[in-house]
Amino acid sequence: MDGVIAGAPRTERVRALALVALLLFAVIVWLGYRIAQGILIYPDELLTAERSREMLLLGRDTVHLNFQPSFAKPPLQYWLTTLTLPRLANASVAVRVWPLLYGVLTAIAVGWLASLVQPGRPWFGAAALAIYSSCPLFLIEASRALLDTGLTFFTTLAIALAQLAKRKPPWWLGVALACWLGTLQKIPLPLLVWAIIVVTRFCNCEDRQSLRTGWLIGSALLALLLVAAWPVYQYLHYGMPLARAFVADEPSQLFSSRNLGGRPYFEVLDGLLLSGWATGSLALAAAIALLFKWNTNPRMREIAIVALAIMALAVLFNFRSVRYIVPIIPCLSLALAFCLERLSEMFSWRWPRVLVALIVAAGFVQTMIKTHHRPRDPLGEKRAAEVLGTRQRENTTTIVIRPPRGKHDFQIAAFYLFYGRLRFPVTRVTVQQLAERAPPRPVLGVCLVREFGSIRQIYPDAQIVFTADDACCWETGMTATATKGRTAIALCAVPVPL
């Protein structure tokens, strides 16, 4: 953090450091409290948790889901989670602690990047870090077991190292490593950011000379080799189609009609400007203004171009979740802080700082509102999952019955795999699909209590072995002992080691 405040009068440095330290401490404490609350119910969190658990069971040389190789996501965060999952009693903390750590590192990287953009201006770094640390998109993502916070850190790190490489070309090697780690985290977004930075500098006569170095070419080749290493390994050892690399669960998803050319457009912008970040419109306007106003610092203009280019691509491909632009929130925070600092030179110094305080307060208030109405923990389903785990056998078909769409938010298969500590795959089907192709006995399943009558029509000898709330666990072709409510807790307590 010293780099954020170096070169300023001592009093200003101390004040800026105190503000940054206090804010970061408050954010870390609050996020630390948040990650311990509730069980995992968000689908992407459950996928992170289950992929990590199956790594512990099946090995770390590939990612598995439902005991089959899964090529949708790379392994870095799952590798990290395997270190905490067997060592921490609270599964939510064990899975969410890494996004929290990534979030803290990203906040520090924002301060460092601010010091590289404008050295010797402590309040610029403090304002940028405060704006970023209070952004609801940052606070919410840093408390959930998703991959976006880690990708944000490696993207911000790549941008900062690219600033160092402007004068010291060997730092391009650091950019290559950041691109590699970002690709192992989720997608090669840092590599795209690197390409945007190089094109931006090439279009600037003053910066073009800095690109004439063998370090850039060598680092780019190294980055491409490192980025390709994991997909090639998966192809050689598991037969992964190369078309599946970096494009989520299906190779056609990125260019599907649902995205490219689909309607409505601008959902990502709507998530940024309205529901995602109350002051996102100000940050976006600041990034646009930096392209035209105030004879902008070229480093800051470059960062604004990166943010706007990624935003434009997200709109072009019609991405429907604001999480796709979370990695550029640090750039937008820097752009907003930069413009506010320019305003402080044009007007009274108090007015822009008061505006920063209002932005920070608004960010925390919006985060509190967004996280206040949390769904009730499905404890009945969690107990059913634990019973499922105690009764699952290798020669038994395990089924999770999916209710008709819109009638009940029943948990996904990963919920039962993770909380039941299952050791064999499960199948998630509707009652209609089960009736059309019923697997032979023995069968073990979980469903809503009200749907068990339909199960009895398919398997007349099916028996309920556990009920809690709306969920029930049933089996057919096996020795069953019906239990209900709390009498089944003894089954849930049987340890199943990871």
How far is the first Cα of the chain from the last one, in angstroms, to the nearest whole number? 40
52-56 long-range Cβ contacts below 8 angstroms, 24+ apart: 52/77, 52/78, 52/81, 52/82, 52/85, 52/95, 53/85, 53/417, 53/418, 53/421, 53/498, 54/417, 55/79, 55/82, 56/82, 56/85, 56/86, 56/498
Question: Is residue 308 within 8 Å of 332, Cβ to Cβ?
Answer: no
* Rounded CA separation 203/173 (Å): 22
Please name the amino acid found at residue 293.
Answer: K
Q: Three-state SS for 192?
A: helix
Q: Which neighbouring-strand residues pair with 398?
A: 444
Q: Is the peptide bond before 9 cis (omega within 30 degrees of 0)?
A: no
pLDDT in tens, 371-401: 877 778 888 899 999 999 999 988 899 999 9
Rounded Cα distance between 423 and 435, Å, is: 26
List CB contacts of 421: < 8 A, sequence separation 6 or more: 53, 386, 389, 496, 498
**DSSP state letters, 91-159:** HHHHHHHHHHHHHHHHHHHHHHHHHHHSTT-HHHHHHHHHHHHT-HHHHHHTTSS-SHHHHHHHHHHHH
**Taking Cα atoms as reference points, which of 441, 415, 353, 165 lies closest to residue 176?**
165
pLDDT at residue 83 in the model:
97
pLDDT number for residue 426: 94
Kindly report the CA angle at 66 between 79 and 57, in degrees rounded to 5?
Answer: 45
C-alpha distance from residue 442 to each of 417, 438, 461, 472, 488 (Å): 19, 11, 11, 17, 21
**Which two structure tokens, joined as six digits, stand for 73?**
């996501």
Tell me how far apart the alpha carbons of residues 56 and 334 are, in angstroms, rounded to a whole number.
Answer: 40
Return the structure tokens found at 147.
Answer: 């991959």
Give the integer Cα–Cα distance in Å for 136 and 170.
36
* Integer Cα distance of 401 and 413 in angstroms: 9
- Contact (Cβ atoms closer than 8 angstroms) between residue 57 and residue 83: no
- The CA-based angle 79-80-84, given to 5 degrees, is 120
* Partners of 65 in the β-ladder: 68
Domains of the chain, residue spans = 2-372, 379-492
Please say whether the beta carbons of 469 and 381 come within 8 A.
yes
- Residue 494's pLDDT is 29
Please return the burial class of 85, using the count of CB atoms within 10 Å of its CB with bins 0-12, 13-18 and 19+: buried
Beta strand 443-448 pairing with 471-476: antiparallel
d(CA 415, CA 126): 41
Q: In the chain, which residues have pLDDT < 50? A: 1-7, 249-261, 263, 480-498
- Other Cβ atoms within 10 Å of 347 Cβ, number: 10
For 338-442, list the strands marked E by DSSP.
397-401, 427-429
Give the type of residue at 63. V
Residue showing tokens 């850039």: 216
Side chain identity at residue 73, one-letter code: K
Interstrand relation of 427-429 and 397-401 (parallel, antiparallel or unpaired):
parallel
Q: Tens digit of pLDDT for each residue in 5-47? A: 444 567 777 787 888 889 899 999 999 999 999 899 999 999 9
pLDDT at 152: 97
